[in-house]
């Protein structure tokens, strides 16, 4: 996909493989360290390592997101897996239930709850979020991606890969202080890799490369990662002191457990003896609610990024997420949600159908089991460069300019969503943004619902939208200005609903008009019934 977008959508799975396979490979490269990082961040304090979250639990969730959720998903481009937004819930659930094996049944139950929600058409919830809030969420994720990846690009990897929290868990540090510290302690070799990869990513989008047919098969992020690996191997040959080492935390660190069968046998199993514990059901309900909301928000956001503007089936998405979580809990994985970072990477890498997400799942299960030692040669700096470009595209300057020009009713909820997504968390940003959006709609309707035109003693009061008790003050002020002896027309033809409070004010005005020699004519006020009616009313 070029910067100008694709020309057309080809039909069929096979015809789109030339786009989906390279995109799936890029998503795999980004998802691998994120799955590991989120598993690490989900570990509960006070629980022994043997009964805590294994790193492979993150990989399992990524595999389930690709091989199970993607084929069933209601979205063509959404990518699912373990999510940073659930790490606190997972750690808390493990601590309250006594261990990861005791926590796994809660994931299975949460999946069942999501399936029920999908069957009950709960996906309609996605439609309540206005575009300004969805755009704000994307822009906020873009900013936090840049803030959190800059330290990795400079060689400081104290925070786990995939973190989207402005504040570091268990520290007084925040994203800004981490960047400041990373600048002071920058590793020259890491910086060289990061800059080289960024240059490749920028150059790859230039027309002289982007317009070539082979660039669709060899995407820039893949070239950047290969370059990062090559540069680090070159450092090892010509300047060993500059080589980036996994022992310093600057590389992908996939656990090497021996044979694939040994890896499979190491996976934990659910402890079903806790099913009678009410805490399990409470934890399950919390996971189902948060995971469903994040998935619906992600799918809604991906539809905005989709160059073909396809509309996802949100009810089907809930069913897919439920199936994924039920299976992930059964085989020892973390909870699964649709994830914006991986999904946006998929879009910007040129993915076109579900096969890109499926292919990323195939690579996760195949390469992690077969050649984990090769994957551990990838510098995090190369992946940071890829995510920095994704963050820039999500939060580009043109978006802020467009939202500002759209007016206060769009810009205010947008910018509030951005700020809260960055400095608090995604769900808080979205929910507060939604409330602000509703308030802005009410203010807009309040200001424009009543128009007044007068020519000497002739007055026309027209209701141009729904009018409610919030418009009482304006209507009373308008009516109070009408002089004695006037002719007044109150027109409600354009309003689909007129609140009882408004009708009461008009009735009082008509009653008092005869004492002031005011002639009042009303149009279509009597037929404006409330849309919610009581039985028999």
> Distance between CA 51 and CA 451 in Å, rounded?
68
Name every residue whose Cβ is closer than 8 Å to that of residue 496 and which is 6 or more positions away in sequence: 466, 528
Q: Is residue 338 part of a domain?
A: yes
Q: Are residues 341 and 471 in the same domain?
A: no
pLDDT attached to residue 2: 42
> Distance between CA 341 and CA 26 in Å, rounded?
12
Query: Domains in the chain: how many in total?
Result: 2
pLDDT attached to residue 255: 79
Residue 382 class from Cβ within 10 Å (0-12 exposed, 13-18 middle, 19+ buried)? Answer: buried
Check the CA dihedral 356-358-364-366 and report its sign: negative
Q: Are residues 183 and 292 in the same domain?
A: yes
Name every residue whose Cβ is closer than 8 Å to that of residue 36 and which is 6 or more positions away in sequence: 55, 58, 59, 161, 252, 253, 254
Domain span at residue 171?
A: 19-407
Q: Are 252 and 367 in contact (CB under 8 A)?
A: no
Q: Is residue 1 part of a domain?
A: no
Strands 80-81 and 337-338: antiparallel
Cβ atoms within 10 A of the Cβ of 498, count? 23
pLDDT attached to residue 265: 75
Q: Is residue 433 part of a domain?
A: no
Q: Are residues 457 and 507 in the same domain?
A: yes
DSSP 379: B
> Distance between CA 2 and CA 228 in Å, rounded?
23
Q: Is residue 533 part of a domain?
A: no
Q: Is residue 436 part of a domain?
A: no
Q: Give the end-to-end CA distance of the chain in Å, rounded to a whole number.
A: 58
Q: Is residue 12 part of a domain?
A: no
State how far Cα 452 lies from the chain centre: 44
CATH classification of the domain holding 517 = 3.30.750.24
pLDDT (tens digit, 0 to 9) for every residue of the chain, 537 residues total? 444 455 677 777 888 998 999 999 999 999 999 999 999 889 887 788 878 899 899 999 999 999 999 999 999 999 999 998 899 899 999 999 999 999 999 999 999 999 999 999 999 998 888 999 999 999 999 999 999 999 999 998 888 888 888 887 666 678 899 999 999 999 999 999 999 999 999 999 888 888 887 877 788 899 999 999 999 999 999 999 999 988 888 898 887 766 777 777 778 899 999 999 999 999 999 999 999 999 999 999 999 999 998 999 999 999 999 999 999 999 999 999 999 999 999 999 999 999 999 999 999 999 888 888 889 999 999 999 999 999 999 999 999 999 999 988 899 999 999 999 999 999 999 999 999 998 887 777 767 788 899 888 899 999 887 787 778 888 898 999 999 999 999 998 888 788 888 888 998 999 999 889 999 999 888 655 555 555 655
State how far Cα 145 lies from the chain centre: 12
Q: Are residues 337 and 472 in the same domain?
A: no
Q: Are residues 381 and 458 in the same domain?
A: no
Q: Are residues 277 and 141 in the same domain?
A: yes
Q: Is residue 427 part of a domain?
A: no
Task: Please tell me the chain's helix, strand, coil percentages from 3-state DSSP, rounded to the nearest 5.
Answer: 65, 5, 30
Q: Are residues 32 and 140 in the same domain?
A: yes
């Amino acid at each position: 996909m070029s910067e100008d977008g694709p020309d057309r959508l080809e039909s069929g799975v096979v015809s789109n493989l030339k786009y989906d396979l390279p995109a799936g490979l890029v998503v795999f490269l980004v998802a691998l360290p994120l799955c590991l990082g989120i598993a690490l961040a989900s570990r509960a304090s006070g629980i022994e390592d043997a009964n805590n979250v294994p790193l492979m639990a993150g990989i399992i969730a990524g595999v389930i997101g690709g091989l199970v959720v993607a084929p069933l998903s209601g979205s063509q481009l959404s990518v699912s897996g373990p999510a940073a937004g659930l790490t606190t819930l997972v750690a808390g659930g493990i601590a309250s239930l006594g261990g990861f094996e005791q926590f796994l049944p809660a994931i299975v139950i949460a999946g069942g709850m999501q399936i029920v929600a999908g069957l009950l058409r709960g996906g309609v919830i996605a439609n309540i979020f206005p575009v300004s809030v969805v755009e704000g969420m994307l822009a906020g994720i873009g900013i936090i991606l840049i803030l959190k990846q800059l330290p990795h690009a400079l060689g400081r990897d104290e925070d786990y890969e995939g973190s989207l929290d402005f504040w570091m868990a268990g520290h007084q540090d925040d994203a800004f202080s981490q960047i400041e510290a990373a600048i002071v302690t920058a590793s020259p070799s890491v910086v060289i890799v990061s800059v080289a990869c960024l240059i490749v990513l920028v150059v790859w989008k230039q027309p002289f490369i982007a317009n070539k047919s082979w660039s669709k098969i060899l995407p820039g992020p893949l070239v950047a990662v290969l370059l990062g690996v090559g540069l680090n191997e070159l450092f090892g040959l010509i300047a060993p002191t500059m080589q980036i080492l996994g022992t310093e935390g600057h590389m992908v660190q996939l656990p090497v457990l021996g044979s694939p069968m040994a890896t499979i046998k190491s996976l934990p199993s659910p402890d079903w003896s806790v099913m009678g514990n009410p805490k399990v059901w409470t934890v399950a309900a919390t996971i189902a609610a948060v995971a469903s909301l994040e998935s619906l928000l992600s799918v809604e956001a991906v539809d905005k990024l989709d160059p073909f503007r396809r509309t996802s089936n949100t009810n089907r998405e809930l069913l897919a997420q439920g199936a994924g979580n039920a299976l992930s809990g059964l085989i020892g994985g973390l909870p699964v949600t649709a994830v914006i970072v991986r999904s946006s990477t998929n879009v910007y890498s040129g993915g076109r159908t579900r096969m890109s997400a499926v292919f990323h799942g195939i690579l996760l299960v195949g390469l992690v089991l077969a050649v984990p030692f090769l994957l551990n040669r990838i510098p995090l700096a190369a992946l940071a460069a890829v995510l920095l470009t994704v963050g820039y595209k999500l939060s580009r300057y043109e978006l802020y300019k467009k939202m500002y020009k759209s007016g206060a009713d769009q810009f205010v909820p947008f910018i509030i969503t951005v700020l809260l997504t960055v400095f608090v968390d995604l769900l808080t940003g979205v929910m507060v943004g939604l409330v602000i959006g509703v308030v802005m709609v009410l203010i807009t309707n309040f200001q424009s619902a009543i128009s007044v035109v007068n020519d000497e003693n002739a007055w026309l009061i027209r209701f141009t939208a729904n009018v409610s008790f919030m418009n009482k003050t304006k209507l009373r002020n308008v009516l109070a200005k009408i002089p004695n002896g006037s002719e007044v027309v109150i027109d409600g033809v354009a309003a689909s609903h007129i609140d009882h409070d408004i009708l009461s004010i008009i009735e009082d005005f008509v009653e008092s008009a005869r004492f002031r020699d005011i002639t009042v004519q009303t149009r279509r006020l009597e037929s404006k019934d409330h849309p919610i009616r009581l039985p028999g009313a």
